[in-house]
Amino acid sequence: MSHTIYLLRHGQTDYNRERRLQGHCDSPLTALGESQARAMGATLRAEIGDPAHWRVLASPLGRARQTAALVCAELGLPAGSVQSDERLIEVAFGAWEMLEVEALHSRHPQLAHQPDWHFQAPGCEPYPAVLARIKAWLADTSLPPKLIVVAHGLLGRILRGVYADLDHPAIWQQDMPQDAFFRLQGGTITRIACLPAADYAASASCSQIPSFCSRASVSGV
């Protein structure tokens, strides 16, 4: 896939704050999550400049679309610019959706030692199925060359792993930030950190945007 992809995770939600599994369930962004989304949008604007030639894709889940709308507002794009793509939806966690992670791990302490423990959930989306839809999306030749994608933590982690051809253990060593996003280009993944959401929320102007964009480039992470 010879594209440039900016891969964003949605901002903090009520369930994120409560440490609950979401999967295909949904909860709205918190005030912090809204600030995180705006900070990502402002940072992205400093990255790409004119957004006219970029397509914005999002998971169909509300938290991703809410984030994408706030990102578009910072880019100067109408909210109607966001297009849903079912292949970007979060992994389904089956019977464990909406459960508190701490309580779940207390009930099943062995999960704490399994980095891919999410896939132990009864009725969850199988890992091979997740891989298949991600690979199909990355191989889709109908996608435009410049993409802004708003998706999810686990889905994004696996997508980056597939893109960089990481082995299974390395996939689970990646983080799932809500205060940074990733540029996928030419086989290299670059992590781009945003202005802290609290600072951005307190700012009256975006004139200092270039100063808060920091980068760390690696191949395959």
Residues with a catalytic annotation lie at 10, 90
Strand stretches in 45-179, DSSP E: 55-58, 82-84, 146-151
Structure tokens at 115: 């980095």
End-to-end CA distance of the chain: 17
Nearest Cα to 218, choosing from 198, 179, 188? Answer: 188
C-alpha distances in Å from residue 54, one per residue of 4, 80, 148: 10, 14, 7
Can you tell me the distance from the alpha carbon of 49 to that of 210, in angstroms, rounded to the nearest whole number?
A: 11
Structure tokens at 191: 């992590």
Burial classification of residue 71, based on how many CB atoms lie within 10 Å of its CB (0-12 exposed, 13-18 middle, 19 or more buried):
buried
C-alpha distances in Å from residue 77, one per residue of 11, 24, 47, 87: 19, 27, 15, 23
Structure tokens at 176: 């799932």
Q: Does residue 38 sit in helix, strand or coil? A: helix
User: Any idea which residue has 């893109």 for tokens?
Assistant: 163
Contact 29, 51 (CB under 8 A): no
